[in-house]
């Protein structure tokens, strides 16, 4: 008796049929010769989701240049939870988690499919904590404003992994390392936040300038880039100890934590390159990184 016959006898044909999508996904996600890159995206204002500007054009460019993934997994600064969750619905909704913007932004729908099978696969890889399969969230603007430029046809499944906001930086770095196997199974992983993100200090009168950063923002952005280039992970994890400017750059860690996920997923052979490397509004940087 072969293995498949044995399984059919033990769990029954109906149960076997219900599990078939998972087996198909696992087969489809066999290890490939191509290892997909990891991205950290500075997503900035939600308006980047509908505007044609240098930032969104670079997102479009990357969508065309890198190997087309089987799925996209995003760690967004805008899904903060107690515990760790992964979206597991078939059809994630488009979340408009902002206010005060033009109606055109609220009208956007990004109808990418989800993947319950990949959600289960992702949860199974994380051994350091329990991962809940979530059916309530969807795709927030940290995800869809970027991914809709990369894959405008919405023909690739998109999932989100939440950020347990009660945990320290080291926890997030260590959790992310457990997802490395997905890079060779056709999954593009994106951390979406901003290296420097202080909304309270935004120079609103300077937002229309193509590039403007306060001295401390430019200083910290340069330090972060140097640490990333040197693979100085511990300094990035313990960012609060870098200098006084770090507290201005990261008054709260929500937009910084996605960077820790991205750097944790690289390996020693990955090339590191920066793009969209500009400060806007004085206290924000759009600096983004490609690993691999």
d(CA 220, CA 262): 18
Residue-level pLDDT at 204: 79
Residue-level pLDDT at 253: 97
Proportion of the chain in helix, strand, coil states, percent, rounded to 5: 40, 15, 40
d(CA 69, CA 73): 10
- Range with the poorest average pLDDT among 166-175, 198-207, 235-244, 260-269: 198-207
Mean pLDDT throughout 98-113? 96
Each residue of 36-45: pLDDT tens digit? 999 999 999 9
Residue-level pLDDT at 230: 95
What is the DSSP code (8-state) at residue 213? B
Residue predicted with more confidence, 130 or 8: 130
Residue-level pLDDT at 32: 57
Residue-level pLDDT at 210: 73
Mean pLDDT throughout 86-96? 98
Give the residues across from 273 on adjacent strands: 290
d(CA 264, CA 26): 24
Neighbours of 136 (CB within 10 A): 8
- Checking if the pLDDT of 181 tops 50, the result is yes
Is residue 146 within 8 A of residue 59, CB to CB? The reply is: yes
Residue-level pLDDT at 30: 58
Mean pLDDT throughout 49-71? 95
Whether the full predicted model's pTM is greater than 0.75, yes or no, is: yes
- Whose tokens are 């950020």? That residue is 163
Mean pLDDT throughout 235-245? 94
């Amino acid at each position: 008796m072969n293995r498949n016959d044995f399984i059919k006898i033990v769990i029954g044909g109906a149960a076997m049929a219900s599990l078939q999508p998972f087996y198909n996904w696992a087969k489809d996600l066999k290890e490939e010769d191509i290892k997909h890159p990891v991205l950290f995206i500075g997503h900035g204002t939600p308006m980047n989701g509908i505007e044609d500007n240098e930032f969104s054009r670079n997102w479009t460019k990357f969508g065309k240049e890198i190997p087309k993934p089987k799925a996209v997994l995003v760690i967004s600064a805008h899904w903060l939870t107690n515990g760790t969750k992964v979206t597991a619905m078939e059809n994630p909704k488009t979340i408009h988690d902002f206010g005060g913007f033009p109606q055109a932004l609220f009208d956007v729908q990004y109808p990418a499919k989800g993947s319950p099978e990949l959600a289960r696969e992702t949860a199974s890889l994380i051994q350091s904590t329990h991962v809940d399969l979530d059916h309530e969230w969807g795709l927030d603007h940290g995800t869809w404003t970027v991914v809709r430029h990369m894959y405008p046809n919405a023909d690739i499944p998109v999932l989100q992994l939440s950020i347990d906001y009660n945990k320290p930086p080291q926890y997030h770095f260590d959790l992310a390392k457990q997802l490395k196997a997905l890079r060779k199974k056709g999954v593009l992983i994106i951390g979406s936040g901003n290296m420097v993100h202080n909304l309270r200090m935004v120079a609103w009168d300077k937002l229309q300038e193509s590039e403007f950063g306060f001295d401390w923002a430019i200083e910290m952005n340069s330090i972060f880039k140097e640490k990333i280039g040197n693979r100085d992970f511990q300094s990035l994890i313990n960012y609060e100890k870098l200098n006084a400017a770090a507290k201005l750059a990261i008054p709260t860690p929500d937009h910084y934590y996605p960077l820790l996920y991205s750097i944790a997923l690289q390996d020693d052979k990955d090339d590191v390159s920066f793009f969209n490397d500009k400060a806007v509004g004085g206290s924000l940087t759009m600096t983004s990184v490609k690993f691999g």
